[in-house]
Amino acid sequence: SQFGIGDLELFIKETHKFESHYCDKLIGPYPERADIYRDRSAIYFADQISAPVILFQGLEDKVVPPSQAETFVEVCKQKKLPYAYVAYEGEQHGFRQDKNIRRTFEGELYFLSRIFGFETADRIEPVEIENFTPRRGVPGTVSFP
């Protein structure tokens, strides 16, 4: 996930004024349709997550605040799921700095190479994958529930 929304209710409460009414047209008025916001928020279905997760987040993001990613990180910790969280100081919504754009794409590739057990063509700076345990006999792949 790159600066993704996991909790629509939290999103409309924390995002800046311009984006705060975006969901009214897509989902419905809040709080009158809070039920739909919950039904469409991944965080309320976190108990069903069973796959590894990687999250990239700008710490200055006013559209999708870092709390969205941090909430998912907590779920992954509790469930002991493999996850990686890469937070960028000084980045907002949609990364602008070349080094962070490159790091994001390379980080995704590295993460997938470790999860699925393939070698990348070039050496890539690793991202730290928490709760990562390679399966025996399959280099680089991970066991998860």
Domain ranges of the chain: 8-116
Alpha helix (H) residue ranges in 15-118: 17-20, 22-26, 34-39, 67-79, 98-116
The structure tokens 């995704």 sit at 108
> pLDDT at position 142, please?
52
Average pLDDT on 70-84 reads: 93
Between 49-53, 54-58, 100-104, the lowest mean confidence (pLDDT) is in: 49-53
- 8-116: CATH topology: Rossmann fold (3.40.50)
Q: Does the pLDDT at position 136 exceed 80?
A: no
Q: What is the pTM of this model?
A: 0.84
> pLDDT at position 36, please?
97
Average pLDDT on 55-75 reads: 93
Rounded to whole angstroms, the Cα distance separating 38 from 131 reads 28
